[in-house]
Amino acid sequence: MSDKPTAVRVYLARVRTSLADLPPTEVEEILDDVRPHLAEIEAEMGPGARVDALIERLGTPESYAAELRASGGYPPVAETVVAASTTVTKSAPGRAQPRIALWGLVLCTIWAGGVAFVAGHMLNPDVLLILLFAAPVFLVSIVLVLHVGVARVRALPEVKWLVATLDRAREQESAAKTMRFLGTLKPAWWVVCAVALAAFGLLLMARHRQAVLLLPFLIAIGLAAVWAGQRVRGDRRLVWMVAPVSAFVVGGLFGGFGATVDLIGDRTPYATASSNSPTSGQYGNGELRYRGSGVENIYAFDAEGKPLTDIYLYDEKGEPITLPRYGCRTPNGGETKSGEDNRFPRPRIEMTQQPSSDAPGAYTTYETVCRETAGVPFSAAIPKSTTSSSPPVSTTPSAPSPTPSVTSSAPPPSSPSSPSRPTPTK
């Protein structure tokens, strides 16, 4: 059989649409009886048969369906399917409630999916509170569908169009195969929902303790989805439950997937830190911090206030305090990382704008010049009372070390190790 819609398939699809208000399993049974007959007729008439030829032989699909109803003891077509399409004027006011019920469901489903996506992405249970915004819409939708019944919702033109489209697809071989395959996955899907909801709850709980309140809630919804998923074919009202839950799970899975991708993406590229960001130390480069901000260079002075060059720093475990070293990229391309060591102080790196030497004509063009400057940019007045180990009261006679001077007029330094006031030499 080819995939293109033959006359028989079109005919069957129209019969199916006319029986849309009957239980779907029953409609399948009926069509199973009818199909071999129509296939026979098709074989008789050849593959090029037109729907008109079938209608000439069997009557319209709609009258065929009506005959099936009458002889099969099914409820007549009048009150549901046909009523909505033929008596537009009469049913117009009656459509408002089913329509609100339907679109409320659609809205809540989209909302649930979106919120779950964001919550999964940010792994933040507080986001789930946004779900409550949709709660009134959802409640109204449920109340209405329980009030007017699913049949009225199914009679809406938009739903009939959707059902008819699906029916037409079902009569096509390839689409039907896909749908049957998806159909076999359904029970598994509800289990996936339950597992995903429980996992989501556990994950949130791991991140935020207060989410422990959510966990039983999510598990209950998961179990309810498994329960309702089995029965939704028989009771379409359960769609109001399984559709938002499914959307929530799909959104959460996609969000969680996105979060995972972000997490992996964050880790890797910074391992070889970019060269021109000296302070980007948090991803593996060593960084010195003092009072909350990064320290890029260290200047040391001896007791006389003489700056020390070429000192090597170690921590209390004897590990070198190794920081990335930056230098000028030759000849004048800006600064670049040139290595890592624990030697201080580092030469200062200055970027200056200089008139370009080879500038043609009247325009003076400027170029950025990178210059490394050794030396100490400031001098430090070391307070005289910094003899580390000897308190002022101790009377050590003739100590060779620098002693606290009696003439020291400087106020007692609050922090003896720091230069009291750096005065730039430039």
Eight-state DSSP code of residue 75: P
In 232-305, which ranges are continuous DSSP H helix? 239-267
Residue 385's contacts (CB-CB under 8 Å, 6 or more residues apart) are 392, 404, 405, 408, 410, 412, 413, 416
Q: Of 53 and 140, which has the nearer Cβ to another protein?
A: 53
Q: Which residues bind another protein (CB under 8 A)?
A: 1, 26, 29-30, 32-37, 39-40, 43, 58, 64-65, 67-74
- Six token digits for residue 33: 């009886």
- Closer residue to another protein, CB minimum distance, 39 or 164: 39
Shortest CB 246 distance to another protein, Å: 31
C-alpha dihedral (263, 269, 272, 273), degrees to nearest 10: -90
Which DSSP symbol is given to 329?
P
Q: Which amino acid is at 216?
A: P
- Kindly state the tokens that stand for 87: 């008596």
Nearer to another protein, 77 or 218 (CB): 77
- Distance in angstroms (rounded) separating the CA atoms of residues 39 and 49: 11
In the bound state with another protein, the residue whose beta carbon lies nearer, of 1 and 311, is 1
d(CA 2, CA 157): 30
Backbone angles phi, psi at 216, to 5 degrees: -60, -35
Compute the least distance from the CB of residue 186 to another protein, in Å: 21
- Evaluate whether 66 touches 59 at the Cβ level (below 8 Å): no
What DSSP assignment string belongs to 412-424? PPSSTTS-S--EE
The least distance separating another protein from the CB of residue 80, rounded to whole angstroms, comes to 18
CA nearest neighbour of 255 among 187, 203, 212, 185: 203
Q: Closest distance between another protein and the C-beta of residue 52, in Å?
A: 17
For the bound state, the minimum distance from the C-beta of residue 56 to another protein, rounded and expressed in Å, comes to 13
Beta carbon of residue 170, minimum distance to another protein (angstroms, whole number)? 13
Strand pairing partners for 325?
339
Spatial separation of the C-alpha atoms in residues 335 and 349, rounded to whole Å: 7
Report, in Å, the least distance between residue 235 CB and another protein. 19
Count of CB atoms within 10 A of residue 207's CB?
12
Measured from the CB atom, the residue of 36 and 400 that comes closer to another protein is 36
| Residue closer to another protein, measured from CB, 33 or 372 | 33
Residue 162: CB minimum distance to another protein, A: 25
User: 39 or 298: whose CB is closer to another protein?
Assistant: 39
220: left (phi over 0), alpha (psi -120 to 50) or beta: alpha
Residue with smaller CB distance to another protein, 29 or 262:
29
